[in-house]
Every structure is written in structure tokens, then in C-alpha cells.
Amino acid sequence: MTPSIMEIRLADTTIRVVQADIADAIMSHVVVFITAATPEEAERLGRTLLDERLAACVNTAPVRSAYWWQGQVEETGETLLIVKTTARLVDALTARVRALHSSTVPEVIAVPIVGGNPDYLRWIDESVRA
């Protein structure tokens, strides 16, 4: 039986994946974006995600955010967490952030990693909970 091939097009890049490997090749690793009100909150969230092995790596950076909230546009400084983890942990990670976050509607957005250094992706697998 010949394996079927799926083509994924992102901007100017085309990725061909054997369909049986789609879940492993595309959806097994994710980057999660989380914003926090303060650097201290971001540090606390990031450290908890690492300590509980829900994340392999957490980067933080100051950002300026503009967004709709309660009928008006808000503008504020926040700290962005960039979290590397596995797709299977997104639900647990989201629940943990929701339990700890100061916001009533915390930003938790997971984006699939569609490629990268195989050694780094393997390191993510080894660094998070089984």
C-alpha cells in the first residue's frame, strides 16, 4: 500500500508529510503565547509551568498590547511568555494558567510547530512530563 501524502502550504513554503505521520510531524510540539500583567506574574507563571514539567522552555519579553476589553480599546504594557511544550500538554497547561493568572480571561494560544531542529524537538519531549 502506497502511503498518502498531505501537502501543507505556509506562505512561500510547502511541506509534504506522509499522512500517517501527520500527528507526530505537525501537532506533537507547540509554542504557547501567554501574556501576564507584570514581569513578576510572568516569572511566577513560567516557573510553575517549568516546575510542573508542563513546559520545556519559557522565554519572557516586555510587550505593548492593545486590545478590545469591555467595549473599549485598552493599551497597556504586559510581559509575553513564549512557552515550548507538547500538544498533549496544552489542556493541562491552559488549566494551570487559568488557575494562577490574575486576569479573568488570560491569553493562552497554542500554535503548532511544523518544523525545526530535530534535536531540539526531541529535547522538548524529554523535558516535559510523560
In CATH, what class is 29-120? alpha beta
Report how far apart, in Å, the C-alpha atoms of 68 and of each of 55, 65, 74, 83, 106 are. Answer: 29, 10, 6, 24, 13
pLDDT, tens digit (0-9, with 9 covering 90-100), for 36-88: 999 999 999 999 999 999 999 999 999 999 999 999 999 999 999 999 999 99
Q: Show the 3-state SS of 101-127.
A: CCCCCCCEEEEECCCCCHHHHHHHHHH
Q: Are 120 and 25 in contact (CB under 8 A)?
A: no
pLDDT band at 1 (very low <50, low <70, confident <90, very high): very low
- Residue ranges per domain, the chain? 29-120
pLDDT at 22: 47
Mean predicted lDDT score pLDDT of the chain:
89
- Average pLDDT over every residue of 25-33: 83
CA proximity to 129, closest of 50, 66, 61: 50
The answer to pTM > 0.85 is no
